[in-house]
Chains A and B, each alone.
Chain A
C-alpha cells in the first residue's frame, strides 16, 4: 500500500497537474477543441460516461453556444445535476463518478455534467430466499434500482433514506432506510454512528458491513438478517427496523433482529395463520433435530444404550455389528462427507453440481454402508439432519447450524448426554447475552414480551397484528384499528 500513500501525499495542486496525473490511465480523455468557433475542452473517463448522452445533449449545446461563460452554458444543457466548481478534489471525485468536466478556457473552474453510464442486470426472482407464493422480486446490485423498489412499495413521505460513503478505495455508497416515527431513533443513531466510525478500504458486499456492524463479531449467530426480498424489507421497515443497502450488493441488511425472526419465511405471511404457525413450529423442530440428531447418536451409542427400546436395540446392534469404528468416528466420517458434498455442490458449475449431488448422495451413502463404514441408521440420521438444516429461511443461519453440530459431537463423545447438556447450556447462555444493536437476541421469549408473541414463534391472524412489536421500541405502536377488521359485513343487494 506504500505506493498509494505516497501518491496520496503528492496530490496535484492544479487542474493541469491532475490531468497529467490521470492521463496515465488509457481510459482518461482530455480533449481540447481549439479549431471550432467556440474553443472548449472536455475532461472525462471514457469508461464511465455515456457517449450517446455526451453527443446528443452536451456537444451540440457547446457548439451552438456563442457566449463565452460557463454560467450560461449551465443553463442551456438539458441535464440536471450540473455544477460549476474550481475545487480540485471535488472535480476529481466527480470525474470518477462519471461526470464530464467542461472548460471553455484554460483555468481552474470547470462545468461538471453528470452523464455517467450505469450498467446493471435486470431484476430477477430471489434465488436464495425463494418462495412459491408471494412476489418474486429480488434486489439487484444497483443501489438506485433497489431504493426505487423499496420506495415503490412504501410510498410514504416518512420513509427516510440516509446516505453515507464508506471505503477509502471503493467509495461505496451505503443507504440506511427507515420509517421516521416508527423506527426507534436510538437504533437509527446507533447504526449511523457505527457506519460513520467504519474505516475500511474495500467494501465489496453488504456482508462486509454486516460483519463490522454486529454487536458481537465473535458470535456464530447472525445478528442482522441479509435478505434479497423486497417484501421482507417492507415488513421489517413497517415493524420499526432499519435496512442498510449497499451499492453493488444484492443483499440488504435488516436490524435489529431477534432469534425468532430467523425462523420466519416470508411465505408465512401469504399462508393462513394456522398453517404458517404450524410450519414455523416444524422449522423450530428441524433446527433442533439438525443440531442434535447425530450428537445424540454418538452419546447414546457410546454411553447410554439404556435409552433405546429393546426392539430397536436389536436393529441397531445388528446394523453396527460389522463396523470397526467407534460411533464418533463413524459420525464424523459421514458428517464430513455430507459437508464435502455440500461445499462441492456450492462451488461446482450448476449442471455438474446436480449430478454430483446424486452421485455423492446415493453412491457414497450406499457404498459406505455396504463397505461397513457406517450403519444405515446413521445414514438416515445424517441425511435427515442435513435436510433439516436447509429448512431455515435465512441462509446465514443454515451455516450456523451446520457449524454448531461439530463441537456438539465432540462434547457428546467426551461426556455423553451430560456433554450435550453442557454444550446446550453454553449456547443458551451465549444467546441470552447476545444482542443485536442493543436489543436482546432471545427477545420475545426472554425478556418475555408477551405482546410480541403474535408474530414470533407463531403467526396469529392479522386482526391481532394491530400493534407493532415492542421489540423495536418505536414510538408509534398502533398499526390499525382492529375493531374495524372484526366486522366482516355481508352487503345485501338492496343495501346502499
Chain B
C-alpha cells in the first residue's frame, strides 16, 4: 500500500515536467518568412490562422526583428505564448537573405524536436515578408496552400524531391549540395519559378522551370509530370508521366575522374500538333527529346562545375563507387571533370486510338 501511494504521489509530482499546450489556446504557425532586416538583424514574418465556430478561417500576419530565430519569438509580444512550430509547413527566405546564408535560421528548426522534418524550405524572389503579408484569396491560408502547392509539384509535377530533412542531409553530407524551390509573387498569385541552387547554405544560382524539369530527370530515378517539347519542324508534342532511370558511372575517381550519366526515359505522348502521329514522327520526338536533355543537361552540369556546387551529388556517387575515396582531391578535380550525359528515350503509349 505504501508502495502504491508513493507511486501515485511521485507520478503527480511529475506533472510539472510537461508543458501543457491546449490546442485552442496556442498560436499555431504554418508559415514563416525570413528577410534581411536593419543593422544585421533578421526580419521574421509569420502568418497565423484564427478559427471561429463557423469554420471560417481568418489570417493575420505579424512582423518582428531580432538577431536569432528564437529571439523573434520574444519580439512577437502581440501573440499568446508558447508559439508552436509543430505544424510548420513552409519556411521561406527572401533572396537577399538566402544569398547570405540560411543555416543560422534553419538550425533552430533542425534542432527542435517539436518541428517536423517534412517542412518545405523555399526561397522567394524578392521579399518573403511581402509574400506572407499579401492578402491572397487562398481559402485555407497561405501556409497550407504553399505546402500543398509544393507537395503536388513534387508528387505530380516536375520538381525534384526536397524538404527540410533532405536539406539537412545534403548540407552536412560530403559531395553534395542542396536545392530548394524558388517561388515568385505576381499580384494575385504565388508561382513556382524554378529551383534555387545552394552552395552549402548560400544561394548562388537559379534554374528556371525548363531546367528544373531536366534537373529532376537526370538527378535520380524519378517520375515527372508534363513537358512540352518543341520539334524542329515547328510542331509541338506533349509528353506525360515521364519515368527516368538514372545511373551514374564514375571511373578513376581518385586520379583522373570521368563521369557518365546514363538516363533511360519512358514517356507517353498525350498531345501532338502535327498531322498524324506516325512511327517516324514518334522516333523524331524521341530523338529531339534526347538531344534536348543532353544539351541542356551538359549546360547545367557545366554551370554547376563553374559555380563549384554539386546538386547532382556526383561526389557522393563517386564515393560510393570508389575504394579509399579522397574527398579533398575530388574537390580540386571537380570543376574540370569530364561529364557525359547519355539519354535514351522510349515512347510508350500515345493514346487509345493507335
Which residues from chain A sit less than 8 Å from chain B, CB to CB?
A: 300-303, 305-306, 308, 310-311, 313-323, 326-327, 411, 414-416, 418, 422
Contacts and interface: CB of A to CB of B under 8 A. Distances in A.
A293 to B, nearest CB: 17
Given A306-B114, A306-B116, A301 B22 contact: yes
B15 A310 contact: no
B344 interface: no
Contacts of A310: 30, 87, 89, 144, 147
B86 A315 contact: no
B175 to A, nearest CB: 34
Given A319-B53, A321-B53, A422-B11, 7 more contacts: A302-B23, A303-B18, A305-B26, A305-B84, A317-B51, A415-B18, A418-B18
A414 B15 CA distance: 5
B51 A305 contact: no
Interface string B76-108: 000000001011010000000000000000000
The interface size bin for chain B is: 20 to 34
Interface string B47-67: 001011111110000000000
B147 A315 contact: no
A311 B140 CA distance: 9
Closest 10 CB pairs of A and B: A306-B86, A318-B51, A317-B51, A305-B23, A320-B24, A301-B23, A414-B15, A318-B55, A317-B24, A322-B53
Given A415-B14, A415-B15, A314 B49 contact: yes
Contacts of B12: 414
14 contacts: A302-B21, A303-B20, A305-B84, A306-B86, A306-B116, A314-B49, A314-B57, A317-B51, A321-B24, A321-B53, A322-B53, A327-B22, A327-B23, A422-B11
B22 A318 contact: no
A340 to B, nearest CB: 26
Contacts of B212: none
Contact of B22 (A302, A313, A314, A322): A302
Interface of B: 11-12, 14-15, 18-24, 26, 28, 30, 49, 51-57, 84, 86-87, 89, 114, 116, 140, 144, 147
A326 B25 CA distance: 10
Contacts of A418: 18
Contacts of B147: 310
B343 to A, nearest CB: 39
Contacts of A300: 23
Nearest to B26: A305
B87 to A, nearest CB: 6
B91 to A, nearest CB: 15
